[in-house]
Amino acid sequence: MVLSLGFGALASARADASLDHARAARARLGSGVWSRIVRIENTAKRSHYPRELHALVFEVGGLLWFYSDGDGTQSFSTHYHQLAAEKADFAPLLRAIDPGFTHFALVADDPTAPPPSRAQLPNGCFINSYAALRDLLARGELIASARLLLVYYRIGGSLRGHTVLAYDTPGGSYVMDPTAPDNTAQPVPAARAKDAVAVAQEARPELAIARARWVPTELPRSTPLLAALTPASAPTP
């Protein structure tokens, strides 16, 4: 006998999976990153998003970002320097992503929930790149500055997006793609380190890169190199 799940059961299973992915994404970003999990009901008749999903809204580089396991990470903020207002009202930002996102609710922390999955995060290149920076710092790497790099490339006539990590150390500049099979850091020549497209090409030379742009990424002042370079009288943010 063949058993089949009805549409409602499939939608519920999909929503549960997206919740686990949102929780996993939040854990990888770490407690030092402002983030909120949001449950969304999609009322659009035509949409590539499911009827119900969970997503993660988080702050990096002075902007809000929106992660869903189906699409990955995209910009959530619509203006610079309006973080307080945007954090207080997700409604217009959600509708800008999809007009069907008209009903939503923040998901409260559940201390009884099992730990989020440590499996590969679907479409998680942005979050994995930020997590790679945290891992480097935790290992004691002397990093003076770091930036996420948004890479846009063409494949099959369409434009795709990807994210890698670029950072500077006393020994030089490097770029890392945590999702690549060989995810080791690649050195970047000093003459190319400030050119976003050039750095993207160092990271993924096989891609037909159309454009690239930086996402500024703050480092905690407790990192070894920054602590050494920061005067004791400097204010702490």
pTM score of the predicted model = 0.84
What are the percentages of helix, strand and coil residues in the chain, rounded to 5?
30, 30, 40
CB atoms within 10 A of CB 129: 26
Q: 226: buried, middle or exposed (CB in 10 Å: 19+, 13-18, 0-12)?
A: middle
d(CA 90, CA 43): 16
Burial 147-156 (b: 16+ CB within 10 A, else e): bbbbbbbeee
pLDDT tens, residue by residue, 50-106: 999 999 999 999 999 999 999 999 999 999 899 999 999 999 999 999 999 999 999
Domain ranges for the chain: 7-106, 125-229
d(CA 198, CA 124): 23
d(CA 38, CA 91): 11
What pLDDT is stored for residue 190 in this prediction? 94
What pLDDT is stored for residue 219 in this prediction? 81
d(CA 140, CA 75): 31
What pLDDT is stored for residue 10 in this prediction? 47
What pLDDT is stored for residue 110 in this prediction? 83
Which residues of the chain are modeled with pLDDT < 50?
A: 1-10, 221-237
What pLDDT is stored for residue 15 in this prediction? 62
What pLDDT is stored for residue 14 in this prediction? 65
Q: Is 12 helix (H, G, I), strand (E, B) or coil?
A: helix
